[in-house]
Chains A and B, each alone.
Chain A
Amino acid sequence: MNAWLIAATVLLLGLVPCAIVMVRGSIVEALVGLQMAGILEVVTLLLLAEGFHRAPFFDLALVLALLTLAGTLVFARMLERWV
């Protein structure tokens, strides 16, 4: 296990506070938790890609960053109108 994988594992612990906020907070606070979790996941994927020495895995981080942007925007738009 190299430093990159250790960093990715430690970073995954950050998902716990995000999950707590998503479960216990208001609906907009849950959206903030989701936004934070998305950032963490992108960075974790970068670390895993480097840790496993697989260059194609970096595409996953790129795609997830794009999808996180779109998904959070859709949720925010939905929250201000319907929920």
Chain B
Amino acid sequence: MSLSSVAVVVLLVFGVGVELVCCIGVLVMRGAYDKLHYTGPAAIFGPSAIAAAIVVRESFSQAGVKAILAALLLIVANPVVTHATGRALYIRQRDHLEPDEGTR
């Protein structure tokens, strides 16, 4: 078994493990705010590890570059989506976006 094969397996196990742990976190945590925290590692570490594994295997070919692009897209998009979801929950709970009177 070559060194690159070992690296691919390690990266795959790490990426899949992070994703599964985050799924369990989303299931177990109470409340949407706590659940939202677990989408972060799932969108950053998991796709990065998988993309790295693909690059180790394919080098910077068409497949490798597209894998990096997909991982980058997830990394950039996740904070935006998380913010939008948190904002939606905040507005639904308080019926407005501004801070309550006397809390500034």
Query: Which of A's residues lie within 8 Å of B, judged by CB?
Result: 3-4, 7, 10-11, 13-18, 20-21, 25-26, 28-29, 31-33, 35-36, 39-40, 42-43, 46-47, 49-50, 55, 58-59, 61-62, 65-66, 68-69, 72-73, 76-77, 79-80
Give complex CA distance A46, B73 in Å. Answer: 13
Cα distance A80–B9 in the bound complex, in angstroms: 42
Decide yes or no whether B80 CB sits under 8 A from chain A.
yes
Q: Measuring CB to CB, which residues of chain B are less than 8 angstroms from any residue of chain A?
A: 8-9, 12-13, 15-16, 19-20, 22-24, 26-27, 31-32, 35-36, 38-39, 42-43, 46-47, 50-51, 54, 57-58, 61-63, 66-67, 69-71, 73-74, 77-78, 80-82, 84-85, 87-89, 91-92
A-B contact count (CB 8 A): 145
Q: Other than A7-B15, A36-B26, A40-B23, give 11 A-B pairs with Cβ distance below 8 A.
A: A3-B8, A11-B16, A17-B23, A18-B26, A25-B35, A35-B39, A36-B22, A55-B66, A59-B66, A72-B81, A79-B92
- Give the nearest-CB partner of B38 in chain A: A36
